[in-house]
Amino acid sequence: MSNGQTTSRYTIERLQSIDRRIIFVFIAAAVIIPLLLGASLKEETTPIVRALFDYVDHLPEGSRVLLSFDYGPTTAPEIQPMVDAVLRQCIERKCKLYMMAVWATGHNLVGQTIEEILKSEYPQLQYGQDYVNLGYKAGSQGLIRLLVVDFKRMYSTDAAGTAIDSIPMMQNIGNLKNFDLIFSFGGGFPGIKEWILYAGDPGHIPIGGGCTAVSAPLLYPYYPSQLVGLMGGAKGAAEYENALIQAYPKFSNMPMAGMSLMMSQTVSHIVIMFFVVLGNVLYFIGRNRNASTKPGGEK
């Protein structure tokens, strides 16, 4: 074997066993640099997201929309942009917003969302008239099943301890069937699937969802008969934001979290694809070399 062949084999072996910290540096750069530059990427709205957007956009004024925060801080960067976009659209449509959580961690995220979106962007909205924070209740799918038959049995007070009957927008709420649309945000358990199985299907209530990118393929089979539409990951959020900007140009100058995330995600995907392709090229070169140096095939 010549020196040149030995050197190239050595190079291939070195590349194949590349220190994972080098890959980590590339990924870190791919994520951080676009975020620092503030670059964003517009996404064309796909039919599954468009269906959800159009459904909300055709809700009559005063429609009751229940938003369930079924996620935690781990997935908040992916899901929170969806929540923000949906809230903004619902407010534009003059819908009544009912916020709750079947995840313990969702309780605080409801509070954060109210502070960051409702109170800061829409200070004219009145608590109890336009929106209400019902907070978290334990019980997972059991809770959802109970809400289908009797809402106030589980929610006798709101998150702040105010009696539910003293809240004006809760007066005509008997069960989940009184809502025009239920949104579940989060792809874990309990989440969109449980809302479909225990509320949407038995109660004939329209369900919309927003989940992480990894959960989306598991939920596609429920669309369109059991799910009005679905936003999957940062891409789903960016698509919804794009539809929102097109329908309501006043949002075009507002920074959109989903679109900002898309640039980072796109660049990091390119880096991952590069490494996958590189790994395969090295694998095939190595395999061919091994085959050619085996007894009988040695050159």
Partner 1 sequence: MKRRVPLIIVFCVSLFMVIQYFVPLDSLERVYRSFLDYTIIIGVFALLLGIWSLCRVNYDKIKRKSENWQYAIITLTGFFIMTIAGFLSGWGRTDNYLYQHLFSYVLVPIQATMFSLLAFFIASAAFRAFRARSLLATLLLISGLVIMIRFVPLGFLSEPISDLAGWILRVPNMAAKRAIIIGVGLGAVATAFKIMLGIERAYLGRD
Residues that bind partner 1 (CB under 8 A): 18, 20, 23-24, 26-28, 31, 41, 44, 46, 72-77, 105, 107-108, 111-112, 138-140, 142-143, 145-146, 149-150, 153, 157, 159-161, 217-218, 220-221, 235, 262, 265-266, 268-273, 275-280, 283-284
Q: Whose Cβ is closer to partner 1: residue 170's or residue 181's?
A: 170
Distance of CA 258 to the CA centre of its chain: 9
Minimum CB distance to partner 1, residue 68 (Å): 17
Minimum CB distance to partner 1, residue 74 (Å): 4
Q: Whose Cβ is closer to partner 1: residue 26's or residue 251's?
A: 26
Give the number of other CB atoms < 10 A from CB of residue 12.
16
Pair of tokens at residue 24: 């980590």
Minimum CB distance to partner 1, residue 283 (Å): 5
Q: What angle do CA 28, 33, 34 make, to 5 degrees?
A: 115
Minimum CB distance to partner 1, residue 72 (Å): 6
Run of H or E residues at 260 = helix 257-293
Strands 207-211 and 181-185: parallel
Minimum CB distance to partner 1, residue 279 (Å): 5
Q: Whose Cβ is closer to partner 1: residue 30's or residue 59's?
A: 30
Minimum CB distance to partner 1, residue 7 (Å): 23
- 9: Cβ contacts below 8 Å, ≥ 6 apart: 289
Minimum CB distance to partner 1, residue 281 (Å): 10
Contact 181, 63 (CB under 8 A): yes
Q: Whose Cβ is closer to partner 1: residue 111's or residue 128's?
A: 111
Strands 131-136 and 181-185: unpaired
E strand intervals along 129-237: 131-136, 181-185, 207-211, 229-232
Angstrom CA distances, 100 to 69, 152, 159, 192, 293, stand at 6, 13, 9, 14, 66
Give the number of other CB atoms < 10 A from CB of residue 125.
15
Q: Whose Cβ is closer to partner 1: residue 89's or residue 133's?
A: 133
Q: Whose Cβ is closer to partner 1: residue 96's or residue 107's?
A: 107
DSSP, collapsed to helix, strand or coil, labels residue 181 as strand
Pair of tokens at residue 139: 């019980």
Q: Whose Cβ is closer to partner 1: residue 181's or residue 282's?
A: 282
